[in-house]
Amino acid sequence: MYGDGGGSLFVDTLDATKITWTGQFTLQVSGFAYNNGLLYTAVKTVVDPVSKIVIEQLPPNDFLSDAGVAVSADDNRIYYITWDAQHNKRILDFDLNSYVEAPLFDTGVLPGGADHFIACSNHTVAFNLFGSGVTKNIVLVRGLK
């Protein structure tokens, strides 16, 4: 599975003798995680890449930037990181099976953008801060959900 950078997601299969193109569908994807045979996109869409169907559209939030998604099968959670124009970061937290949202975690103002968002198990996520004014590069958020 790969994106072309232009909003399209490609799903390919690889076997011992050839690569076969199996489909393409348009989906705004700035990042995604793959778990349990599903794609969890940074724009809060859950996709079955084999059937090429949207399984779930998670609720939008009032923040401006969708920066990343991380999935923890151990915690049964889907985590998203978003931020607003003032650089307040929020961690959104959804059940992996029911898609029910847990209370969000608001970090407050952290300078710069956020990337390399990962789930670390034990209801912990980590991300990198980048940009001007950044004094702390790695942020750990523990005790989610």
Query: The whole model's pTM is what?
Result: 0.78
Residue 141 confidence (pLDDT)? 93
Closest CA to 57 of 34, 28, 35, 37: 28
Kindly tell me the number of DSSP H helices and DSSP E strands found in the chain: 0, 14
The residue extents of the domains of the chain are 2-12+21-141
DSSP 77: E
Instruction: Report, as ranges of residue numbers, the positions in the chain whose pLDDT lies below 50.
Output: 16, 18-19
Give yes or no for a contact between 54 and 28, defined as CB atoms under 8 angstroms apart. no
Q: Please count the CA atoms within 13 angstroms of the CA of 30 that sit on its side-chain side.
A: 15
| Residue located via tokens 């349990």 | 36
Residue 96 confidence (pLDDT)? 94
- Integer Cα distance of 145 and 42 in angstroms: 19
Sequence-separated (6 or more) residues with CB below 8 Å from residue 101: 58, 59, 92, 93, 94, 95
Domain 2-12+21-141 falls under CATH 2.130.10.10: yes
